[in-house]
């Protein structure tokens, strides 16, 4: 399956990695590796995670307080958000593909 990130989700990913790297050297890389592992899991088993809202699902990122919000559309996984779990819930809903 092809994984496509919403531009806003990509910006969130980069911003979080930068924050973690500035907090402690190497932590940004660790965050990106954890997100990549989650992306791989989603690609292998796209319907494994529970439905969050409508067709959207959420996969939690190991070790970090983030969730990947995505929807499966045919052979594409559309990532709407790389969301900090304490951020306002549902802010990503306007990003529907």
Query: Per-residue pLDDT tens for 80-92?
Result: 999 999 877 766 6
Q: Does some domain include residue 45?
A: yes
Q: Give the strand order in the sheet containing 56-60.
A: 2-5, 76-84, 66-73, 56-60, 51-53
Residues 6+ apart with CB under 8 A from 28: 17, 18, 19, 20, 21, 22
Return the structure tokens found at 47.
């319907």
Q: What is the CATH number of the domain that holds 22?
A: 3.30.2310.20
What local confidence, expressed as pLDDT, does residue 96 receive?
62
Q: pLDDT band at residue 53, thresholds of 50, 70 and 90?
A: confident
Give pTM, 2 decimals: 0.89
Residues 6+ apart with CB under 8 A from 31: 16, 17, 20, 61, 64, 66
Q: Does some domain include residue 94?
A: no
Number of folded domains that form the chain: 1
């Amino acid at each position: 399956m092809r994984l496509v990130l919403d531009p806003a989700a990509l910006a969130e990913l980069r911003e979080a990695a930068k924050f973690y790297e500035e907090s402690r050297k190497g932590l940004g890389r660790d965050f990106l590796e954890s997100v990549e592992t989650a992306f791989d899991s989603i690609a292998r088993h796209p319907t494994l995670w529970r439905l969050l809202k409508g067709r959207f699902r959420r996969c939690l990122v190991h070790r970090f307080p983030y969730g990947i919000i995505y929807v499966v559309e045919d052979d594409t996984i559309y990532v709407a958000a790389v969301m900090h779990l304490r951020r306002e819930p549902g802010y990503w809903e306007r990003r529907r593909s």
